[in-house]
Amino acid sequence: MATTAELSGKGALVTGGASGIGAAAARRLAGLGARVAVVDVDEVGARRVAEQVGGLAVVGDVSDPATMPSAVGRAEAEFGRLDLVLLNAGVGGGQRAVDDALDVARYRSVVGVNVDHVVFGTCAAVPALRRSGGGSIVVMASLAGLTAMPADPLYTMTKHAVVGYVRAAGAALAADGITLCALCPGFVDTLLLGAAREEFDQLDFPLLTPDNVVDTLLAVLARGGPGEAWTVQPGQEGGPYRFRGVPGVGGGKLPPEVAIG
């Protein structure tokens, strides 16, 4: 699905599309012939990117259960089909979340955007993708979904959650011709870094660009398998992460009816 011919005329939807990785993905997908719906709570940014790519702007809070069904419906109506959904919207935790000073409202917001949005988006997209004969859902996770990031426990928790969701749900959706994968980039030079951007500069720490992540997104669309989590790191070719099996009978493998039931 990653070649120009395969994307030409296809319908795509990108959440968090007003800036950063989402905007880069919208531009690249449109450049390859896809028609793109740009979903974001930032109305000005969403409309700007949608205008740049000749696509559709959808303004809404992705943590609201009504937003993703509405966005999918509008994209499918506008394009006549939906073939690719990139669930990219995400926010940082912004607090330690290990003591009584927990900001509950902020906690709910982070979980809403980073986790609920992925579930709402997948559930909304699957019927539309089935109507198109199959397609791809790619969830923007993080290396924090594969290892601990002590500086942001909440972010780490949410990204572990979506990686687990993708791994579990991927096999079930494969029977419908729908490939569900996760992208797990390291640190990317976007607004999500916030004030930490200066620290990375001081350490001369290599950062990914949004286009680096989109390069791997296209590889996932071309070669990704159900439930895979692809890593993206500076100077390295992206590829699926090899998870170790859990200890147990049969090397930790579950019977098919348990694994995908």
What pLDDT does residue 236 have?
86
Greatest pairwise CA separation for the chain in angstroms: 55
Helix (H) or strand (E) holding 179, with range, is strand 178-185
Sorted by where each begins, the domain ranges of the chain are 4-259
Q: Which residue has the higher pLDDT, 230 or 94?
A: 230
User: Is the separation of the CB atoms in 1 and 13 below 8 Å?
Assistant: no
pLDDT band per the 50, 70, 90 thresholds, residue 259: very low
pTM for this predicted structure: 0.91
pLDDT in tens, 224-249: 999 999 999 998 889 999 998 877 76
Query: Which residues, 6 or more positions from 115, have their beta carbon under 8 angstroms from its beta carbon?
Result: 158, 161, 162, 165
pLDDT at 209 over 50: yes
- C-alpha to C-alpha distances, 142 to 1, 72, 147, nearest whole angstrom: 23, 24, 9
pLDDT in tens, 54-85: 999 999 999 999 999 999 999 999 999 999 99
What pLDDT does residue 179 have?
98
pLDDT band per the 50, 70, 90 thresholds, residue 207: confident
What pLDDT does residue 248 have?
72
pLDDT band per the 50, 70, 90 thresholds, residue 112: very high
What pLDDT does residue 6 have?
77
> Does residue 10 carry a catalytic annotation?
no
> Does residue 155 carry a catalytic annotation?
yes
**Per the residue annotation, which of 159, 165, 241, 253 is the catalytic one?**
159
pLDDT band per the 50, 70, 90 thresholds, residue 256: low
Residue 38: φ, ψ to 5°: -105, 115
Length, in residues, of the chain: 261
What pLDDT does residue 99 have?
86
pLDDT at 220 over 90: yes
- C-alpha to C-alpha distances, 230 to 62, 71, 102, 177, 242, nearest whole angstrom: 23, 26, 32, 19, 9
What pLDDT does residue 195 have?
57
Closest listed residue to residue 15, CA positions, set 92, 67, 86, 72 = 86
**Per the residue annotation, which of 155, 165, 241, 253 is the catalytic one?**
155
Query: Chain-wide mean pLDDT for the chain?
Result: 90
User: Is the separation of the CB atoms in 16 and 35 below 8 Å?
Assistant: no
Closest listed residue to residue 56, CA positions, set 76, 41, 86 = 76
What pLDDT does residue 161 have?
98
pLDDT in tens, 150-174: 989 999 999 999 999 999 999 999 9
Whole-number Å distance between alpha carbons of 192 and 220: 23
Say whether 92 sits in a helix, a strand or coil: coil
CATH class, range 4-259:
alpha beta
pLDDT at 135 over 50: yes
Whole-number Å distance between alpha carbons of 208 and 69: 32
How many Cβ atoms from other residues are within 10 Å of residue 137's Cβ? 24
What pLDDT does residue 1 have?
44
